[in-house]
Amino acid sequence: MSDKAMMRALRGETLSPPPIWMMRQAGRYLPEYRAVRAKAGSFLDLCYNPDLAVEVTLQPIRRFGFDAAILFSDILVIPHALGRDLRFEEGRGPVMTPISAGDIAHLDGSHVHDHLAPVYETLRRLRKELPGETTLLGFCGAPWTLATYMIAGHGTPDQAPARLFAYREPDAFEALLACLADVSAQYLIRQIEAGAEAVQIFDSWSGVLDEACFERFCVRPVARMVEAVRSVYPDVPIIGFPKGANSMLEAYRQRTGVTALGLDWTVPMSQAAKLQQEGPVQGNLDPLRLVAGGKALDEGVDTVLRGLADGPLIFNLGHGVTPDTPIGHVEAMIARVRNRQG
């Protein structure tokens, strides 16, 4: 059993100070990342180059000493590995050819792990190079969130294309979710084999669904993934992060069986504390408080620390760090968490 702070919190221990890391902690707010990104070519080239992916994963660990390092990659490597085209456009993000109902039946998973071999190599190297106290996290996107990009071909504000597709083509949509769940579960299993000590499932667009669709599109596919991973690695912690789920968070935890629950910044502290009674929680500082700094940052950090001090907590943002975040504000946040000021 690991004595790393992150792993202890995931086992349900209450630690003071709590372990801390940030989603998207390797990214454009760091000048050293921008330098590597400039010489990488495309964003996907960076994801698939173990030398560069290891370097950018390690950068925030060297600079800030976070308690966890998360694999540098992207959730959309799974549809890419399934044969879908993918590119990242400056100012727009990921762009794909929208998938049709007919395309879904012909998705080819036979070469997924060959395609993702550089990701597994990155994890193997990271496990050797990380400091002994730093937990190595793997991750993937949840089937619903992956499906939204595959159907629309790009990000949208309310995922209307995917929701309409699910209503109009329910059988094809269920087949897509099943395919993505099975491939993603095997992806996580391979990540663990390569050295990941815990994994996180990102469901970035779960908050746009009604209750029935949330159960069918978010809960059931993730439960299927958790069951598959646990059949091979029963003791590896799994963090579920269904952004925007709010009133459905308790049902998500109970029905998926995730070890820990990631919370976005809109989750009230009273609700977060109640959820914490059932197991570890992670979050949930508003990323814009980190951009603002000063009193707004201090108050946000203190609210999380006070509200969740009596149970297992992993301090994190309620979503990813943004490119305009000042490095000094990150340093101030870490100091306030670790020094328990206020």
Active site amino acids: 24, 28, 37, 74, 149
For the chain, what is the HEC assignment?
A: CCCCHHHHHHCCCCCCCCCECCCCCCCCCCHHHHHHHHHHCCHHHHHCCHHHHHHHHHHHHHHHCCCEEECCCCCCHHHHHCCCCCEEECCCEEECCCCCHHHHCCCCCCCHHHHCHHHHHHHHHHHHHCCCCCEEEEEEECHHHHHHHHHHCCCCCCCHHHHHHHHHCHHHHHHHHHHHHHHHHHHHHHHHHHCCCEEEEEECCHHHCCHHHHHHHHHHHHHHHHHHHHHHCCCCCEEEEECCCHHHHHHHHHHHCCCEEECCCCCCHHHHHHHHCCCCEEEEECHHHHHHCHHHHHHHHHHHHHHCCCCCEEEEECCCCCCCCCHHHHHHHHHHHHHCCC
